[in-house]
Protein backbone atom coordinates (compact mmCIF):
# COMPACT_ATOMS: atom_id res chain seq x y z
CA UNK A 1 0.00 0.00 0.00
CA UNK A 2 1.37 3.42 -0.91
CA UNK A 3 1.55 6.22 1.61
CA UNK A 4 2.35 9.90 1.67
CA UNK A 5 6.06 10.68 2.10
CA UNK A 6 6.90 11.62 5.68
CA UNK A 7 8.46 15.09 5.78
CA UNK A 8 10.34 16.06 8.94
CA UNK A 9 10.02 19.69 10.00
CA UNK A 10 12.29 20.69 12.89
CA UNK A 11 10.14 22.40 15.50
CA UNK A 12 10.83 25.88 16.79
CA UNK A 13 11.18 26.64 20.49
CA UNK A 14 8.63 29.15 21.75
CA UNK A 15 8.64 30.83 25.16
CA UNK A 16 4.86 30.75 25.38
CA UNK A 17 1.82 29.26 23.68
CA UNK A 18 -1.87 29.25 24.60
CA UNK A 19 -2.97 26.30 26.79
CA UNK A 20 0.58 25.16 27.63
CA UNK A 21 2.15 25.45 31.06
CA UNK A 22 5.68 25.08 29.70
CA UNK A 23 7.80 26.39 26.87
CA UNK A 24 6.33 25.20 23.60
CA UNK A 25 7.59 23.44 20.50
CA UNK A 26 5.86 24.84 17.43
CA UNK A 27 5.52 24.50 13.67
CA UNK A 28 3.76 27.12 11.59
CA UNK A 29 0.31 25.76 10.77
CA UNK A 30 0.50 27.19 7.25
CA UNK A 31 3.73 25.29 6.62
CA UNK A 32 2.25 21.95 7.71
CA UNK A 33 -0.85 22.62 5.63
CA UNK A 34 1.31 23.37 2.60
CA UNK A 35 3.10 20.01 2.98
CA UNK A 36 -0.30 18.30 3.19
CA UNK A 37 -1.57 20.19 0.14
CA UNK A 38 1.54 19.11 -1.77
CA UNK A 39 0.94 15.44 -0.95
CA UNK A 40 3.25 14.89 2.02
CA UNK A 41 2.74 14.03 5.68
CA UNK A 42 4.33 16.72 7.91
CA UNK A 43 5.92 15.55 11.16
CA UNK A 44 7.32 18.02 13.66
CA UNK A 45 10.56 16.74 15.17
CA UNK A 46 12.11 17.93 18.41
CA UNK A 47 15.38 19.85 17.84
CA UNK A 48 17.19 17.84 20.50
CA UNK A 49 20.77 18.99 21.06
CA UNK A 50 21.59 18.92 24.80
CA UNK A 51 24.33 21.37 25.62
CA UNK A 52 23.95 22.81 22.12
CA UNK A 53 25.77 19.84 20.60
CA UNK A 54 24.58 16.96 18.39
CA UNK A 55 26.20 15.08 15.53
CA UNK A 56 24.69 14.57 12.08
CA UNK A 57 24.89 10.81 12.68
CA UNK A 58 22.84 11.12 15.87
CA UNK A 59 20.22 13.13 14.03
CA UNK A 60 20.20 10.53 11.26
CA UNK A 61 19.63 7.73 13.75
CA UNK A 62 16.56 9.52 15.06
CA UNK A 63 15.18 10.39 11.64
CA UNK A 64 15.77 7.15 9.77
CA UNK A 65 11.98 6.84 9.37
CA UNK A 66 11.51 10.06 7.35
CA UNK A 67 11.47 10.41 3.57
CA UNK A 68 12.41 14.09 3.35
CA UNK A 69 13.23 17.19 5.38
CA UNK A 70 11.79 20.69 5.25
CA UNK A 71 14.06 23.08 7.13
CA UNK A 72 11.83 26.03 8.05
CA UNK A 73 12.17 29.70 8.89
CA UNK A 74 12.74 31.07 12.38
CA UNK A 75 15.01 33.35 14.39
CA UNK A 76 18.58 34.25 13.59
CA UNK A 77 21.60 31.97 13.72
CA UNK A 78 24.26 33.01 16.21
CA UNK A 79 26.93 34.94 14.27
CA UNK A 80 29.56 32.82 16.05
CA UNK A 81 28.35 29.91 13.90
CA UNK A 82 29.83 31.63 10.86
CA UNK A 83 32.91 33.19 12.40
CA UNK A 84 31.58 36.60 13.41
CA UNK A 85 31.99 37.32 17.12
CA UNK A 86 30.06 40.61 17.28
CA UNK A 87 26.30 40.44 16.76
CA UNK A 88 24.41 43.27 15.06
CA UNK A 89 21.85 44.98 17.29
CA UNK A 90 19.07 43.64 15.06
CA UNK A 91 20.00 39.97 15.55
CA UNK A 92 17.14 38.27 17.42
CA UNK A 93 15.83 35.00 18.89
CA UNK A 94 19.18 33.21 18.88
CA UNK A 95 18.97 29.76 20.45
CA UNK A 96 22.15 27.68 20.60
CA UNK A 97 20.32 24.34 20.82
CA UNK A 98 18.15 25.23 17.83
CA UNK A 99 21.24 26.24 15.86
CA UNK A 100 23.08 23.04 16.70
CA UNK A 101 20.20 20.81 15.66
CA UNK A 102 19.37 22.70 12.46
CA UNK A 103 22.99 22.65 11.33
CA UNK A 104 23.26 18.93 12.08
CA UNK A 105 20.04 17.99 10.28
CA UNK A 106 21.16 19.98 7.24
CA UNK A 107 24.53 18.22 7.23
CA UNK A 108 22.89 14.80 7.66
CA UNK A 109 20.33 15.32 4.91
CA UNK A 110 22.93 16.58 2.45
CA UNK A 111 25.39 13.78 3.22
CA UNK A 112 22.79 11.00 3.21
CA UNK A 113 20.97 12.15 0.09
CA UNK A 114 17.71 12.65 1.98
CA UNK A 115 15.61 15.13 -0.05
CA UNK A 116 15.91 18.55 1.56
CA UNK A 117 13.97 21.78 1.03
CA UNK A 118 15.21 24.74 3.07
CA UNK A 119 13.23 27.98 3.41
CA UNK A 120 14.27 31.39 4.76
CA UNK A 121 16.34 30.69 7.92
CA UNK A 122 16.63 27.16 6.61
CA UNK A 123 18.49 28.39 3.52
CA UNK A 124 20.82 30.40 5.73
CA UNK A 125 21.42 27.34 7.91
CA UNK A 126 22.45 25.27 4.90
CA UNK A 127 24.80 28.01 3.73
CA UNK A 128 26.46 28.19 7.15
CA UNK A 129 26.56 24.39 7.50
CA UNK A 130 28.65 24.32 4.33
CA UNK A 131 31.07 27.02 5.46
CA UNK A 132 29.37 30.13 4.11
CA UNK A 133 28.38 33.27 6.00
CA UNK A 134 25.59 35.83 6.25
CA UNK A 135 24.98 39.55 6.03
CA UNK A 136 23.74 40.05 9.60
CA UNK A 137 21.42 42.95 8.77
CA UNK A 138 20.46 44.19 5.33
CA UNK A 139 20.36 47.91 4.66
CA UNK A 140 16.82 47.41 3.37
CA UNK A 141 15.34 44.29 5.01
CA UNK A 142 12.86 42.18 3.06
CA UNK A 143 10.03 42.22 5.59
CA UNK A 144 6.33 42.07 4.67
CA UNK A 145 7.49 42.11 1.06
CA UNK A 146 6.19 40.26 -1.97
CA UNK A 147 8.44 40.75 -4.98
CA UNK A 148 9.42 39.09 -8.23
CA UNK A 149 12.42 36.79 -8.18
CA UNK A 150 14.26 35.94 -11.40
CA UNK A 151 15.25 32.28 -11.72
CA UNK A 152 18.21 30.95 -13.70
CA UNK A 153 17.63 28.63 -16.64
CA UNK A 154 18.19 24.90 -16.29
CA UNK A 155 17.63 24.77 -12.53
CA UNK A 156 15.40 22.59 -10.38
CA UNK A 157 13.54 25.71 -9.25
CA UNK A 158 12.78 26.86 -12.78
CA UNK A 159 11.63 23.35 -13.62
CA UNK A 160 9.14 23.58 -10.77
CA UNK A 161 7.78 27.12 -11.12
CA UNK A 162 8.99 28.62 -14.40
CA UNK A 163 11.07 31.70 -15.12
CA UNK A 164 10.08 33.89 -12.16
CA UNK A 165 8.07 33.74 -8.98
CA UNK A 166 6.29 36.19 -6.69
CA UNK A 167 8.15 35.58 -3.42
CA UNK A 168 6.70 36.46 -0.02
CA UNK A 169 9.67 37.44 2.12
CA UNK A 170 10.24 38.14 5.77
CA UNK A 171 13.95 38.36 6.53
CA UNK A 172 16.56 40.91 7.51
CA UNK A 173 19.59 38.73 6.85
CA UNK A 174 20.82 37.17 3.63
CA UNK A 175 23.44 34.84 2.24
CA UNK A 176 26.77 36.57 1.74
CA UNK A 177 29.70 34.19 1.02
CA UNK A 178 28.39 30.97 -0.48
CA UNK A 179 29.05 27.67 1.27
CA UNK A 180 31.05 24.91 -0.39
CA UNK A 181 29.37 23.55 -3.50
CA UNK A 182 26.41 25.92 -3.38
CA UNK A 183 25.30 27.90 -6.43
CA UNK A 184 22.96 30.90 -6.43
CA UNK A 185 20.13 30.19 -8.88
CA UNK A 186 17.73 33.09 -8.26
CA UNK A 187 18.04 36.76 -7.29
CA UNK A 188 15.83 39.70 -6.45
CA UNK A 189 16.27 43.13 -8.03
CA UNK A 190 18.60 44.31 -5.25
CA UNK A 191 20.95 41.38 -5.81
CA UNK A 192 19.85 39.31 -2.83
CA UNK A 193 20.35 35.58 -3.37
CA UNK A 194 16.84 34.11 -3.32
CA UNK A 195 17.56 30.44 -4.04
CA UNK A 196 20.43 27.96 -3.84
CA UNK A 197 21.24 24.66 -5.51
CA UNK A 198 24.06 22.18 -4.95
CA UNK A 199 24.95 20.47 -8.22
CA UNK A 200 27.04 17.80 -6.51
CA UNK A 201 24.46 17.01 -3.81
CA UNK A 202 23.98 13.33 -2.95
CA UNK A 203 20.21 13.76 -3.22
CA UNK A 204 17.52 16.25 -4.18
CA UNK A 205 18.11 19.71 -2.69
CA UNK A 206 16.65 23.20 -3.04
CA UNK A 207 16.78 26.27 -0.81
CA UNK A 208 14.67 29.41 -1.15
CA UNK A 209 14.93 32.62 0.83
CA UNK A 210 11.20 33.28 0.87
CA UNK A 211 8.21 31.67 2.62
CA UNK A 212 6.12 29.53 0.23
CA UNK A 213 3.61 28.92 3.01
CA UNK A 214 2.60 32.60 3.06
CA UNK A 215 0.81 32.58 -0.30
CA UNK A 216 0.30 28.94 -1.28
CA UNK A 217 -3.51 29.14 -1.10
CA UNK A 218 -3.55 31.69 -3.93
CA UNK A 219 -0.31 30.96 -5.80
CA UNK A 220 0.12 27.47 -7.29
CA UNK A 221 3.84 28.13 -7.81
CA UNK A 222 4.38 27.93 -4.06
CA UNK A 223 2.70 24.53 -3.89
CA UNK A 224 4.88 23.44 -6.81
CA UNK A 225 8.03 24.20 -4.81
CA UNK A 226 6.98 21.74 -2.10
CA UNK A 227 5.57 19.26 -4.62
CA UNK A 228 9.10 19.01 -6.03
CA UNK A 229 10.30 17.94 -2.58
CA UNK A 230 7.44 15.46 -2.24
CA UNK A 231 8.17 13.95 -5.65
CA UNK A 232 11.82 13.44 -4.70
CA UNK A 233 10.84 11.95 -1.33
CA UNK A 234 8.34 9.59 -3.01
CA UNK A 235 10.93 7.59 -4.94
CA UNK A 236 11.40 4.90 -2.29
CA UNK A 237 8.01 5.12 -0.57
> Which one from 171, 172, 194, 213 is the annotated catalytic residue?
213
Residues 6+ apart with CB under 8 A from 61: none
- Residue 120 is a catalytic residue: yes
Q: Can you tell me the distance from the alpha carbon of 237 to that of 233, in angstroms, rounded to the nearest whole number?
A: 7
> Which one from 142, 171, 172, 211 is the annotated catalytic residue?
211
Residue 119 near residue 73 (C-beta atoms within 8 A): yes
> Which one from 33, 46, 120, 148 is the annotated catalytic residue?
120
Q: Tell me which DSSP letter residue 76 carries.
A: P
Q: Can you tell me the distance from the alpha carbon of 218 to that of 74, in angstroms, rounded to the nearest whole number?
A: 23
- Residue 169 is a catalytic residue: no
- Residue 213 is a catalytic residue: yes
Of 183, 196, 55, 178, which Cα lies nearest the Cα of 128?
A: 178
Q: Alpha carbon of 89 to those of 43, 136, 172: distances in Å? A: 34, 9, 12
**Is 68 in a helix, a strand, or coil?**
strand
Catalytic residues: 120, 211, 213
Amino acid sequence: MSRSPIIAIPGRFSSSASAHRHRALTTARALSELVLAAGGEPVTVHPWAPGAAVTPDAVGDRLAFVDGVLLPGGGDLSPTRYGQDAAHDEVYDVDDEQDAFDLAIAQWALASGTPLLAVCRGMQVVNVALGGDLDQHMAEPHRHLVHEVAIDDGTVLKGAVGGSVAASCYHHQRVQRLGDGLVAIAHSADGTVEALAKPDAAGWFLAVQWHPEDTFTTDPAQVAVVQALIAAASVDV
